[in-house]
Amino acid sequence: MMGSKETEPRRYLVPIDTASTQQLFTDCLVIGTGIAGLRATIQAAQNCGVTLVCKGSLADSNTWNAQGGIASVLADDDSFADHIADTLATGCGICDREVVELVVKQGPCLIRQLTDWGTEFDMAGDQIDITVEGGHSHARIAHAQGDSTGRVIAEALMRKVKQKPNINVIENFFVIDIITDENECVGAIGCNRAGEFQVIWAASTILATGGAGRLYRETTNPEAATADGIAIAYRAGAVVRDMEFMQFHPTTLYIAGASRALITETLRGEGAMLLDSENNRFMTDYHKAAELAPRDVVSRAILDRMLKTGSTHVYLDIRHFDKKHFARRFPVISELCESFDIDVSKELIPVRPSAHYMIGGVKTDSEGATSIRNLYACGEVASTGLHGANRLGSNSLLEGLVFGKIAGKLASGHPKAGANHLKHRRIRCDIALSDRSRLDADDVRNSLRALMWRNVGITRKAQPLAEAQEIIDFWQRYVMDKVFDSAYGWECQNMLTVCLLMAQAAEKRVESRGVHYREDFPETDDKNFANHIELTRSLQA
């Protein structure tokens, strides 16, 4: 565990006096509307009232954008043992085996339940159609409307949420901090659509706030993915871990001026090849699985080819695909390419890697409980131990589904008395306001994202990691003491907090493992590092 007083954020980002703030009371508060938050909400609502909040609209999540699919054992020639073995092998020695077994074994049943709830997966005859991604020894990726899997699942879960009278959905509610009283979470303070502060008292709280891709200049993630949940939990004293493990996706559309967009790995699973700018297929030189090598291997190989050819990107070649089948099977990518006048039957798709999935996060046990009482975490914000040092493609929607259900069940199990017992609590925290008129949060955010891409990116080494910490520390000195009044500023503070944790953890892991590659220490060091790096806020700060 580490944490230093100088660089620690203060406990709350805004002054709080619960007695003079608008108040809501709920049995269970769920923060975030990706697959994990929605599934947790549905589960918790079987036992108690739920308030589900998200900072944008219900659809602003990584889940909504997930293309490839959801992994599970669905074929007769596949087995739990093989899915478990693939997950453990990809995780490079630090997966939690108990969690891997739990998630893999619940997969088929929870996917069947999704279909019962109206998710229409693509079918091959009367079976769910499955495809393959890197690291999977069998086809086991279920998909829906081709490359719209996340959206189709989320829509089905949202319909279910809307049918339940005991679920109160509040969109455009930015949770600034969870409120704790002696290591017990008693709810959260946030800012509603009208710009008013509100306290939501809750007998239990589930963080399902999603990922952190927006901490990097290049990312597949939507704007919402600013790592708020990790920062919120860290400020409250929760243990966070594996912060050095950011997974980069090898193939993001790279067109200068266009926003980056994911080009699903299932395209490579179905035969797309990677070519460098000199038209050479290169992955065969780097790994025996070629284009289906683990994502970290493909990402580094692409960087290497970009460097060797002096190019800003490489290409995906699908000219050999049947054009009509492609448009049917990958409608989102087909439309995307068309919108940039790329005729995929004749032309190559320019791609390069970008930040995709945050493996680390708020540490939970196998029931989704964090180190703070009555605070649970599930989905990308959580570190359950499923992924180890590298995530197997399409295991994350599965994890969100399984841990959403588990966390929802546990969190709704104890608030029999609802939040009534919290009615007489008062939490106060005074913070002196400091002048922020000269501060350009936009500039800080952009500079931070560029710094992370350069210094804490696909390959790392000691000096740039140390430099990143010094620079973030300097920016923190004049950003973290400010009190903002909008999500944009709070997000900036959250981003600074989490970026520093990532750089610190990456510096501490003096070896290469999974998605964490140290140029100065390219070998895996099982003797010293077959474990997790945990970080927790220094309580004096």
The residue at minimum Cβ distance from ligand SIN is 68
Rounded-to-integer distance, Cα 514 and Cα 520, Å: 15
Show the site string, 45-84: x = touches ligand SIN by CB under 6 A, - = not: ----------------------xx----------------
Residue 356: CB partners within 8 Å, gap ≥ 6?
A: 213, 219, 220, 221, 247, 248, 249, 262, 295
Rounded-to-integer distance, Cα 303 and Cα 458, Å: 9
Exactly one of 266, 354, 370, 374 binds ligand SIN (CB under 6 A); which one?
Answer: 266
- In the block, tokens 């077959």 appear at 530
Closest distance of CB 193 from ligand SIN, Å: 31
Scanning 229-237, 263-271, 307-315, 427-435 for contacts with ligand SIN by CB under 6 A, the matching segment is: 263-271
Show the site string, 386-415: x = touches ligand SIN by CB under 6 A, - = not: -------xx-x-------------------
Say if strands 314-317 and 349-358 run parallel, antiparallel, or are unpaired. Answer: antiparallel
Exactly one of 177, 265, 317, 380 binds ligand SIN (CB under 6 A); which one?
Answer: 265
Scanning 184-192, 197-205, 260-268, 333-341 for contacts with ligand SIN by CB under 6 A, the matching segment is: 260-268
Closest distance of CB 149 from ligand SIN, Å: 8
Closest distance of CB 62 from ligand SIN, Å: 9
Q: Which is nearer to ligand SIN, 369 or 382 (CB)?
A: 382
Q: Which is nearer to ligand SIN, 148 or 512 (CB)?
A: 148
Show the site string, 340-369: x = touches ligand SIN by CB under 6 A, - = not: -----------------x------------
Q: Which is nearer to ligand SIN, 357 or 484 (CB)?
A: 357
Helix axes 97-116 and 80-90, enclosed angle (nearest 10): 120
**Partners of 270 in beta bridges:** none
Structure tokens at 49: 């009232």
**Partners of 201 in beta bridges:** 25, 187
* Helix, strand, or coil (residue 25): strand
Q: Which is nearer to ligand SIN, 393 or 457 (CB)?
A: 393
Told to judge if 159 belongs to the known catalytic residues of this protein, a careful annotator would answer no
Q: Which is nearer to ligand SIN, 88 or 239 (CB)?
A: 88
- Output the DSSP codes for 464-506: HHHHHHHHHHHHHHHHTT---SSHHHHHHHHHHHHHHHHHHHH
Closest distance of CB 498 from ligand SIN, Å: 20
Scanning 29-37, 100-108, 258-266, 405-413 for contacts with ligand SIN by CB under 6 A, the matching segment is: 258-266
Q: How many CB atoms lie within 10 A of CB 453?
A: 17
Q: Which is nearer to ligand SIN, 25 or 403 (CB)?
A: 403
Q: Which is nearer to ligand SIN, 48 or 141 (CB)?
A: 141
Rounded-to-integer distance, Cα 437 and Cα 226, Å: 23
Task: List phi, psi (to 5°) of 452.
Answer: -65, -40
Size of interface with ligand SIN, in residues (CB under 6 A): 9
Q: Is the distance from CB of 276 to CB of 311 less than 8 angstroms? A: yes
**Residue 214 C-alpha from the chain's centroid:** 10
Scanning 86-94, 110-118, 262-270, 279-287 for contacts with ligand SIN by CB under 6 A, the matching segment is: 262-270
- 264 binds ligand SIN, rule: CB under 6 A: yes
Q: Which is nearer to ligand SIN, 214 or 518 (CB)?
A: 214
Burial-class residue 440 by CB neighbours within 10 Å (0-12, 13-18, 19+): exposed
C-alpha radius of gyration, the chain, whole number: 22
Catalytic choice (295, 352, 509, 513) = 295
Closest distance of CB 49 from ligand SIN, Å: 33
Q: Is the distance from CB of 172 to CB of 56 less than 8 angstroms? A: yes
Residue 194: CB partners within 8 Å, gap ≥ 6?
A: none
Point out which residues bind ligand SIN (CB under 6 A): 67-68, 264-266, 357, 393-394, 396
List residues with catalytic annotation.
295
